[in-house]
Amino acid sequence: WAKDCIANRFTYSKDEDLFYINGNKVEKESFCKALEYCYQTVIFFDTGYGEQEGAGRKHCDFKMSSGGLPRKVGRKVLLGSGTDEYVTNQSDQKKDPTKEKYRGNTKTVGMAVAGMFLLCCSIICPCFRSRKKDISEVGLTKDHSTNSTSSREGSTSSEKLPSSPVRMPASPFRVPPSPSRFSMSPKLSEIGSINLNMSQVMKATQNFSPSLLIGEGGFGTVYKAQLPDGPVVAVKRARKENLSSLQAEFSSEVELLSKIEHRNLVRLLGYVDKGNERIIITEFVPNGTLREHLDGQRGKILDFYQRLEISIDVAHALAYLHLYAEDPIIHRDVKSSNILLTDNLRAKVADFGFARAGPTDVERTHISTKVKGTAGYLDPEYLRTYQLTTKSDVFSFGILLIEILTGRRPVEMRRAADERITIRWLTRTCSHLVLSEESSISYNCLIA
Ligand SMILES: Nc1ncnc2c1ncn2[C@@H]1O[C@H](COP(=O)(O)OP(=O)(O)OP(=O)(O)O)[C@@H](O)[C@H]1O
């Protein structure tokens, strides 16, 4: 039998009693582990894989009903295995030779993503950046306006070069950063804050009026608010129902956002943590999410160069988080609905609810932690090993690039079964296409 799950094909040959993933022979243990995860995700997606639902159960001893299932957090997946989080050394990793083959597949994907990333950053980026106009940003009340202005990323020649080269990965693919694109991390004391109390927040949002509601997600509701002294802000309010479980998301978002400042990251302005109110106030990004644009819900469809610019913006945001923030930060939820666009179609990465501080010690390569993120964007190695590195964001970024190029979601549930998994559809479609400059899909294939 064979089973398609996310971007993988699981095959069992009864005659040979052999297990395959994407045509590669693998040990039963690796096969079962990967298939078990797929079952979990399929349940989350409710994909209608029903006809193959039982495949593998006969051979693998799944623990499907004993806590191995993903818990649902809004549209996100949360695979839990205890609450302990700890940092381990590379040398701590136990090498299981039986997993190497499957690991090889995921590494190939990782290399492909790195290739795309490099293509954007090293070749295309300089060509198009020079044509860019600077975006004027709303001036906001800051506690230390003078200092923070000097530390903010902009286009002045007085910008500082990135610090802490020690943390740069020792990768042969490393691209030297363009000094004009990065800034030092702001010091915590320099972060701007709008000091609002709850009654001012109520006033600014007109008692959380539905007419000011601009978004809703797993964390809560988001409102557009006009502050008395001018700026328009986004006010994200946690749901009351499961406040204790949202507390971690709230703390993470506030703590990490307060340490970063980059024009491609949504800026934290303040927060409320009082009684049963958890509110995050950020700059308002007026032009909706990238997903809305890809869906054609925001007027004119994005052209190729706009998509490219957006990709580059996100790449810069991630490079900043991974390499130039005070401590490395792993976003863990890079996806098109978390990319907000300005009127000039500049991208800002938002939603730091799942973000984690990465390993700070150069000796340490990863953090062992439970899996969080959104199905379809999750790095398969992280899923299997629970070992989180900045590369997990890079994997999600690769998926995002394909989404940007094709307009499709990573998994398109309404399509025919053989077209549901965008990566597979893309590779199959592209391999049949004769490349021609007239055809945008051919061009996109070429880039992908
Ligand atoms: N700063 C902002 N400016 C403009 N709109 C925003 C802003 N922040 C959030 N939104 C809108 O609110 C929606 C939900 O926001 P966000 O993704 O941060 O919430 P969430 O509860 O963490 O969602 P999810 O669980 O889907 O990640 C976004 O998709 C966007 O439409």
pLDDT digits (tens, 9 = 90+) for 234-267: 999 998 887 887 888 888 888 888 888 899 999 9
Q: What is the pLDDT of residue 55?
A: 63
Query: Counting Cβ atoms within 10 Å, is residue 434 exposed (0-12), middle (13-18) or buried (19+)?
Result: exposed
pLDDT bracket for residue 334 (50, 70, 90): very high
With H, G, I as helix, E, B as strand and everything else as coil, classify residue 428. Answer: helix
Binning pLDDT at 50, 70 and 90, where does residue 211 land? very high
The finding on whether 337 has its CB within 6 A of some atom of ligand 1 is: yes
pLDDT of residue 432: 62
pLDDT of residue 233: 94
218 in contact with ligand 1, CB cutoff 6 A: yes
The pLDDT of residue 343 is above 80: yes
pLDDT at site 193? 55
Q: Is 266 in the pocket of ligand 1 (CB under 6 A)?
A: yes
The maximal CA–CA distance of the chain, rounded, in angstroms, is 74
236 CA from centroid of ligand 1 (Å): 8
Atom from ligand 1 closest to the CA of residue 76: 25
- Identify the CA nearest to 194 among candidates 142, 148, 146: 142
Pocket test for ligand 1, best of 44, 72, 222 (most atoms within 8 A of CB): 222
Tell me the three state secondary structure of residue 330. strand
The token duo for 93 is 């990793």
Answer whether 322's CB lies under 8 Å from 328's CB: yes
The closest of 416, 378, 419, 370 to 395, measured between CA atoms, is 378
Which parts are annotated binding residues?
240
- Residue 320 DSSP symbol: I
Which pTM was predicted?
0.62
Structure tokens at 84: 């302990």
Average of per-residue pLDDT across 295-315: 94
Mean pLDDT across the chain = 69
Q: Annotated binding residues for ATP, as ranges?
A: 240
**DSSP β-bridge partners for residue 341:** 347
Phi-psi region of 313 (alpha: psi -120 to 50; beta: other; left: phi over 0): alpha
Is the pLDDT at 74 greater than 90? The verdict is: no
Question: Which of 133-142, 178-187, 380-389, 411-420 has the lowest average pLDDT?
Answer: 133-142
In the block, tokens 């000796």 appear at 363
Distance (angstroms) between ligand 1 centre and the Cα of 297 equals: 16
pLDDT of 29 reads 82
Check if the beta carbon of residue 403 is closer than 8 Å to that of residue 413.
Answer: no
Burial class (CB in 10 A: 0-12, 13-18, 19+), 317: buried
**Distance from the alpha carbon of residue 142 to the mean position of ligand 1, in angstroms:** 23
Q: Is the CB of 373 under 6 A from ligand 1?
A: no
Specify the pLDDT at position 446: 60
What residues are labeled active site? 333
pLDDT at 377 over 70: yes
- Give the model's confidence band at 305: pLDDT under 50 very low, under 70 low, under 90 confident, else very high: very high
How many angstroms separate the alpha carbon of residue 351 from the centre of ligand 1? Answer: 7
Per-residue pLDDT of 415-441, as tens digits, reads 888 888 888 888 777 666 544 444 555
Range of lowest pLDDT (48-57, 76-85, 219-228, 302-311): 76-85
Element (H, E) at 149: helix 145-151
Quick one: which of 39, 40, 29, 32 has its CA closest to 4? 39
- Tell me, in angstroms, the distance from the centre of ligand 1 to residue 138's CA: 19
Q: What is the mean pLDDT of residues 88-115?
A: 42
Higher pLDDT, 412 or 100: 412
- Cβ–Cβ under 8 Å, residues 334 and 321: no
Q: At 444, give phi and psi (nearest 5°).
A: -60, -40
For residue 439, what pLDDT is reported? 54
Question: Whose CA is closest to 120, among 178, 179, 182?
Answer: 178
* pLDDT for 230 beyond 90: no
The per-residue pLDDT for 392 is 92
Q: Which phi and psi angles does 52 have, rounded to 5°?
A: -110, 10
Contact (Cβ atoms closer than 8 angstroms) between residue 235 and residue 90:
no
Q: Which residue would you say has higher pLDDT here, 221 or 77?
A: 221
Handedness of CA 305, 330, 34, 69 (dihedral sign): negative
Q: CB atoms < 10 A from the CB of 200, how many? A: 15
Higher pLDDT, 27 or 177: 27
For residue 1, what pLDDT is reported?
Answer: 78
- 5 neighbors 49 (Cβ within 8 angstroms): yes
pLDDT at position 264 is 97
Is residue 155 pLDDT above 60, yes or no?
no
Q: For ligand 1, what atom is nearest to the CA of residue 215?
A: 12
Asked if residue 96 has pLDDT above 80, the reply is: no
Q: Is the CB of 217 under 6 A from ligand 1?
A: yes
Q: How far apart are the first and last CA of the chain?
A: 31
Cβ atoms of residues 161 and 151 within 8 Å = no
Which tops the pLDDT comparison, 438 or 371? 371
Given this model, what pLDDT does residue 168 score?
Answer: 38
Lowest mean pLDDT among 7-16, 127-136, 274-283, 297-306: 127-136
pLDDT at 6 (0 to 100):
57
Is the CB–ligand 1 distance for residue 102 below 6 Å? no
Work out the angle at residue 41's Cα, subtended by the Cα atoms of residues 22 and 80, and round it to the nearest 5 degrees.
120
Measure the CA–CA gap between 124 and 414, rounded to whole angstroms: 34
Q: Please tell me the predicted confidence (pLDDT) of residue 371.
A: 74
Name the one residue in this structure whose structure tokens are 């978390």. Answer: 338
What is the per-residue pLDDT for 177? 39
Confidence of residue 5 (pLDDT cuts 50, 70, 90): low
The ligand 1 atom at the shortest distance from the C-alpha of residue 221 is 21
Q: Phi then psi for 334, rounded to 5 degrees?
A: -75, 120
The residues that bridge with 173 in the sheet, in sequence order, are none
Nearest to 293 by CA among 311, 280, 281: 311
Tokens representing residue 134 in the block: 């600077």
pLDDT digits (tens, 9 = 90+) for 122-139: 433 333 333 333 322 222
Tell me the C-alpha distance between 260 and 329, whole Å: 9
Q: Where are the alpha helices (DSSP H) in 235-389?
A: 243-257, 290-294, 304-319, 380-385
Higher-pLDDT residue of 414, 196 = 414
CA distance 426 to 103: 22
**CA gyration radius, the chain:** 22
